A and B are shown apart, each in its own frame.
Chain A
């Protein structure tokens, strides 16, 4: 019995060490970026890389208020991501309800069409969009950017919402129907409250994707619409070696999504797995 217990303890310890080492692979780059962000630029270029040094917050102050301020870009990203999210939800939720619950002419082809639009490679869109928006003089405008962002957020949001809509029970809709509530009332008062969780997950995903988008932003934005992702990239192109400032600015830029990610960790995993787990449960 004792031997058995020892073997199990040993196994657990080995397991902890192995998984801990693997964990380090994912944590280390992030911790290192944080460490670098606390260094002075001279300290960054010390060799070997220093681990013990006088930490300074000056890079963060610079990133926010200094000559490399990213506050404007943070604001731009907030506007674009929020507008994209609001529009996407407003369009996706009713469509998803119809797909999931109602008799809809040509439901299968339309559903397949929605899925197919999700698979379009972004580079296949950025080229025509550049030519189209250029002709409309909509390059570097907020409305232009939000329109482009709908291309990846809308199909995804519709499909995610469909999977949540399918999970709610039918009884309350039936009761509302028998009470002669109009269809729109039923959707608004009965269905939407039941899928609030699903809407929250969709909001999170759409916001994250819009915040992190780079390809469209770098080519279709400009001096007016310059989200944080583009600001980060430009920073490295211009200031090749100011890594401490880059790290600080990048960590500030990523703070919103990191906070959302940690706070909504369970919901995100659920969102990621909705397709996968369902794929197992049904065909």
Chain B
């Protein structure tokens, strides 16, 4: 956000208002097309969404269409399925983000210790990231998690554990979609944190070693604070993505069984496109938009406000 403001400006450009005026006009002309397209393609549909959340738009019963005031929001407030979806969204987002960061950081710390062959991990880690989430969801739904014939189910039974109906029972279905998301995106955290670890200054560690700090102390007092900015960025990016996760869940469970893995995103989608109730679906989507804005606001606030000492 503030990145652009601190660009150095040469002294030759500071002279003369005419030059600046020309530069401003030129800059304006360069940004206008992009910003105009951005406004038309994102802001305009969002305004339309807000408008439609105050309407009754039901493609199954178009004769009822019309202005609804706050009816959709009143309905939402008393809708148990909505609150259920909110709770699932919270569980899904926090669990998967925490798992991604913890496993990704652990893996990055381990791989840093390996004397050779780090490139193998880098290559393997890139694969889940570049795969389409819908394909990942389909892979897991079929060859990994399906009863008996799926690899995971087979291995679990072969190891003597009780069979789990991964996608067909409520709690396992929620766990499954969290596992799938974590599987696909932990490599993101891993790669980012590995790159940050590799760029940490060596001399601090030398000093710590001379001071006889043990491995845990070095991690807790040196590595973690130095990695903090990278971890915060990963948490922000991953939270935003998890909040709007759709394709993998849709492909693996469709939100089911029942509503067991139906996060708010899927509820808004199904209300609109399966029940064809676009007015109420819009209201649900607006609530997700508000939640996303609040969460990103809080995360950005935490990023800039706390620990001002770690900023350089």
Contact = CB atoms under 8 A, between A and B. Distances in A.
Nearest to B244: A121
Given A110-B35, A111-B4, A129 B134 contact: no
- Name the residue in B115, B121, B127 with the highest tally of chain A Cβ atoms < 10 Å from its Cβ: B127
A200 interface: no
A272 interface: yes
Nearest to B194: A269
Contacts, number: 327
Contacts of B129: 261, 268
Contacts of A45: 149
B240 A119 contact: yes
A83 interface: no
Interface in B173-219: 183, 187-188, 191-192, 195-196, 199
Nearest to B131: A254
A108 B120 CA distance: 41
Contacts of A147: 41
A212 B184 CA distance: 13
A60 interface: no
A102 B246 contact: no
B45 A128 contact: yes
Interface in A34-56: 36, 44-45, 47-49
Contacts of B265: 121, 123
Interface stretch (B24-32, B75-83, B162-170): B24-32
Interface size class, chain B:
35 or more
Interface string B273-312: 1000010011001101100110010000001100000011
B282 A127 contact: yes
A124 interface: yes
A212 B138 CA distance: 13
A97 B23 CA distance: 12
Given A128-B52, A232-B132, A269-B126, 12 more contacts: A32-B144, A124-B268, A124-B289, A154-B34, A229-B247, A233-B134, A243-B149, A254-B131, A265-B122, A269-B195, A272-B195, A282-B312
Q: Closest 7 CB pairs between A and B?
A: A261-B130, A212-B132, A95-B34, A102-B27, A98-B27, A94-B30, A214-B247
26 contacts: A30-B127, A91-B33, A102-B24, A104-B24, A105-B24, A110-B31, A124-B46, A127-B52, A130-B273, A131-B52, A150-B38, A170-B10, A183-B22, A213-B132, A233-B138, A246-B142, A247-B142, A250-B135, A254-B132, A265-B126, A268-B130, A269-B191, A273-B191, A276-B234, A280-B196, A280-B229
